[in-house]
Amino acid sequence: MGEEHQYLFIDFEFTMPEKGSAFRGFFPEIIEAGIVSVIGNQVCEEFSSYVTPVRFPKLSERCKSFLHITQEQVDQGIDFLELVKKMIDMNRNRPCTIVTWGNMDMKVLRNNCTHAGVDFPFRGREVDLSMEYKRFFGDQNQTGLWKAVQEYGKEGTGKHHRALDDALTTYNIFRLVEKDKKYLQKPEPTTIGDRVDFSKLFNKFA
């Protein structure tokens, strides 16, 4: 029997330029990573770290304000190549599904790998849970992560725009959606014997 399937729930926070200003050659770089490994419906590992950007090491005021991240935090983070190594370790060459909320996380990761001259660290199916959520509920627009969890009458885990908290919140929504999918699957048709208690009926006429 093969190894159990692993789900990796991933969230990254990225650098952003000042509003209305153009950084020559700017591209978003990962500055915080949150990863949750789930095997057999059990959380096996959680990883969280700040990451030091390479191309634009100085954070914009907008980025610091929006993400509540300080320059000191990213300066003391791991470098991008360490993050890639960690992701390769977590992939573990086992059957794997990568789950993110939106498609930006994997786009930015691929772009950062290209700029760093390293291979993309994941092998396996990639799922954009926000699109699954949109299709499942028939929404016209994509829903934000924390709005989605609130629509379930729940609250997000920890603080929004903290990578690990958002990765855990993505996992929680995934569980809720999967539960709803099972609930909506057509049950086996009931027989008349399931609907009527014949023992009581026979006793009545005995």
Please provide the size of the chain in residues.
Answer: 206
- Give the chain's mean pLDDT: 84
Q: Which residue in 5, 132, 160, 161 is the catalytic one?
A: 161
pLDDT at 121: 95
The reply to whether 161 belongs to the active site is: yes
Helix segments in the chain, DSSP class H: 61-67, 71-75, 80-91, 104-116, 129-137, 145-151, 163-184, 192-195, 198-205
pLDDT at 140: 60
Q: Which residue in 13, 46, 68, 82 is the catalytic one?
A: 13
Question: Domain locations in the chain?
Answer: 6-187
Residues 99-112: tens digit of each pLDDT? 999 999 999 999 99
pLDDT at 42 over 70: yes
The reply to whether 13 belongs to the active site is: yes
Residues 147-191: tens digit of each pLDDT? 777 776 766 565 676 899 999 999 988 988 888 777 666 555 555
Architecture of domain 6-187: 2-Layer Sandwich (3.30)
pTM equals 0.82
